[in-house]
Amino acid sequence: MIHKTQQRLDELESVIVREQDMLFRFAYMRVGSREDAEDIVQDVFLKLFRSSENLKSVRNVKHYLIRSISNACRDFHRRRQDILPLEKADKESVQDDDLKMHEEYLRITALARTLPQEQREVLYMKCIDGLKFREISDILDIPEATVKSRYRYAIQAIQKQLN
């Protein structure tokens, strides 16, 4: 049993090493805070660890993780309504090391903020996360043609905004 547990932890470690930065970027670009993004990434890895006796048996771990992170980010925004922000909540709580990253988050968020959520998600997955249409279709469980049309509408809306 101990051997099996260690084996699972080793498998988990190799998945973390391979995917953590990509997943962190995915979450950060949707929640805008290092701590919250890392909490989400941690929760998703633990969910994966909990739900599967053998990580190798999970079909396409990367897609599984992205789908889970995407759902977790949506939950995060829903949950934010339950959190009680103080009136004097400090908005400038970004560490110096993260300033560049946060500027990118703010810049891209400002460009995409007017898009409908489903278009924005496709746009982010393609431009920020570097996924192919086929992969986005698999992750979101929608036809590839729908992915492409949402992407096209999103690009047109940004074009209009920039021009």
Partner 1 sequence: MKTTDNIEKILTPQCEFKASSSLKDRILEAAAQEEITTPARPRLVIMKYLATSVAAAIALLAVLFIGKSSVQPTYAAEKIFADAAEILNNINSYTAILKVRTDPQENFSYINPWGRFVEHTVTVQQSTGHWSIDKGGRKAVYDGTYTWQWLPESQFGWKYDNENIYVIDDFALLLDLPSLMVAEENIALASNGACITKTESDEVITLVVTSPAQGDFTNEYSRNTSILESDTIREYEFSKEGGELLSLKISTKILGVNRVIVEMTDLKYAPGIKPSTFAVDEDIEWIDNTELGMKVAYETLPFDQFTGITAEEAVVRMFDATSVWDEDFLKVVLRNMSLRQMEKIYKGCRLLEYEPSFKSGLYNGVFVKCKVKMADGRTKKLVVALRNDNPTMTWTADGGL
Shorter beta-carbon distance to partner 1: residue 19 or 138: 19
**Cβ at position 113, least distance to partner 1 in Å:** 13
Minimum distance of partner 1 from residue 4's CB (angstroms): 8
Write the secondary structure of 9-69 as one string of H (helix), E (strand) and C (coil).
HHHHHHHHHHHHHHHHHHHHHHHCCHHHHHHHHHHHHHHHHHHCCCHHHCCCHHHHHHHHH
CB of 76 to partner 1, least distance (A): 13
CB closer to partner 1 out of 38 and 144: 38
Shortest separation between residue 108's beta carbon and partner 1, angstroms: 6
Closer by beta carbon to partner 1, 105 or else 137: 105
Neighbours of 115 (CB within 10 A): 19
What's the CA gap between 131 and 66, in Å, rounded? Answer: 10
Q: How many CB atoms lie within 10 A of CB 77?
A: 11
CB of 139 to partner 1, least distance (A): 18
Q: Which residues bind partner 1 (CB under 8 A)?
A: 1-2, 5, 9, 12-13, 16-17, 20-21, 23-25, 28-29, 34-35, 38, 41-42, 45-46, 49-50, 82-86, 88-90, 93, 95, 100-101, 104, 108, 111-112, 123, 126-128, 155, 158-159, 162-163
Helix, strand, or coil here: 142?
A: coil
State how far the Cα of 24 lies from the Cα of 66, in Å rounded to an integer: 10
Task: Indicate the residue among 98 and 141 with the shorter CB distance to partner 1.
Answer: 98
- DSSP-derived 3-state class of residue 107: helix
- Residue 109 carries which side chain, given as an amino acid letter? T
Our CB check for partner 1 shows the closer of 28 and 64 to be 28
